[in-house]
Amino acid sequence: MRGHQGRNLWFLAFVAPFFIGLAIFVYVPIAWSAYLSFFDARNTVNPTRFVGFDNYRYLFNDRLFRDSLKVFVLFAVFIVPLTYVCSLGLALLLNNLKYGQAFFRSVFFIPMAVSYVIAAIVWRFVFFNGARFGMINSFIRSLGGDPVNWLGGGNNLYWVALISVRLWLQVGFYMILFIAGLNQIPRETYEAASIDGASGWRMLRFITLPQLRGASVAVIMLLFINAFQAFDEFYNMLGSIGSYPPYGRPPLVHLYLIAFGGGQQNLGVGGAGTMILTSIIVLFGLAQTWALGRGQEKPKKVRA
């Protein structure tokens, strides 16, 4: 039972703490949310009034909730490819540098250490301030233009602020992932290719990118999940005391507002929202693994 040299015991000793933490802080809350989502649970975690699928029905009838899913899709459509291309580009550029690699790596990675809240506030009050003395507006005015209302609604310019702040914050991290991926590619492959007369674009297209598939899958997955969980920069850039505009409202912000807004606690609706979002993200993940993993498995089978 203890296994050879107490192997099973050691296995338990190493795995148990992590597993117990995971169970208490992840699995139990998810299960509890699922339970709550079928009850009218206002201000209690031990509800008594069973309401079936009413909370789910409520959310799907809620135009703001449906809009928030669209906001997420729109956000993901911009931020995922943009971060992917920028971080891959930076990684390729830095990887070929002869000098100062460590310096530039740090320069691009440092924003990662800034909190989303702080960055959002800087973006909101300094760069994208809608008043005439906001940084960008001052510049526009010095060129003879009118101040632009960046975040106030009535236009779509708030996306510029939201996407640029996230890009700035996260691009360095994914760049590091790609650099790690690039370092995994054996030099011999490139040498062989250059002997065959391949260079530049063809090496990138036929060696680097295919070899980075593993890193790419991880990066895209993480980018999607992070975009899905977006809260801080939206909340701090667009929200005001007493109100959050109906536009630029991702799912988590909307759920927070209807479940906890105004000092109330509507945990039933909150739980139902959590379940919907969890299933969407699981489906996304499965679809992506399927789509990106397909091409990879075929050669393996041939080899086998």
Instruction: Output 69 or 121, the one with its CB closest to another protein.
Output: 121
d(CA 244, CA 220): 30
To another protein, the closest distance from the beta carbon of 83 in angstroms equals 23
Structure tokens at 195: 């002997």
From 35, 127, 153, 189, residue interacting with another protein (rule: CB under 8 A): 153
Give the residue with the Cβ less far from another protein, 148 or 219.
148
Binding region for another protein (CB under 8 A) out of 1-9, 73-81, 261-269, 285-293: 261-269
Contact call for residue 254 and another protein (CB under 8 A): yes
State the nearest-atom distance from the C-beta of 285 to another protein, in Å: 25
Q: Is residue 118 involved in binding another protein (CB under 8 A)?
A: yes
- For residues 88-117, which are near another protein according to CB under 8 A? 115, 117
The answer to whether residue 245 forms part of the interface with another protein (CB under 8 A) is: yes
Pick the binder of another protein from 195, 241, 302, 304 (CB under 8 A).
Answer: 241
Window contacting another protein (CB under 8 A); options: 14-22, 88-96, 234-242, 276-284:
234-242
One character per residue 15-54, x = contact with another protein (rule: CB under 8 A) = -------------------------x-xxxx---x-----
Q: Which residues are bridge partners to 266 per DSSP?
A: 42
Smallest gap from Cβ 110 to another protein, in A, equals: 19
DSSP 8-class letter at 242: T
Q: Are 229 and 252 in contact (CB under 8 A)?
A: yes
Binding mask 262-281 for another protein (x = CB under 8 A): xxxxx--x------------
152 contributes a contact to another protein by CB under 8 A = yes
Contact between 239 and another protein (CB under 8 A)? yes
Binding to another protein in span 61-80, by CB under 8 A: 61-64
CB 168, min distance to another protein, A:
18
Q: Which DSSP symbol is given to 148?
A: P
Q: What is the 3-state secondary structure (H, E, C) of the chain?
A: CCCHHHHHHHHHHHHHHHHHHHHHHHHHHHHHHHHHCCECCECCCCCCCECCCHHHHHHHHCHHHHHHHHHHHHHHHHHHHHHHHHHHHHHHHHHCCCCCHHHHHHHHHHHHHCCHHHHHHHHHHHHCCCCCCCHHHHHHHHCCCCCCCCCCCCCCCHHHHHHHHHHHHHHHHHHHHHHHHHHHCCHHHHHHHHHCCCCHHHHHHHHHHHHCHHHHHHHHHHHHHHHHCCCHHHHHHHCECCECCCCCCCHHHHHHHHHHHHHCCEHHHHHHHHHHHHHHHHHHHHHHHHHHHHHHHHHHHHHC
With binding defined as CB under 8 A, does residue 144 bind another protein?
A: no
Q: Which residues bind another protein (CB under 8 A)?
A: 40, 42-45, 49, 58, 61-64, 115, 117-118, 121, 129-131, 133-134, 147, 149-154, 235-236, 239-247, 254, 257-266, 269
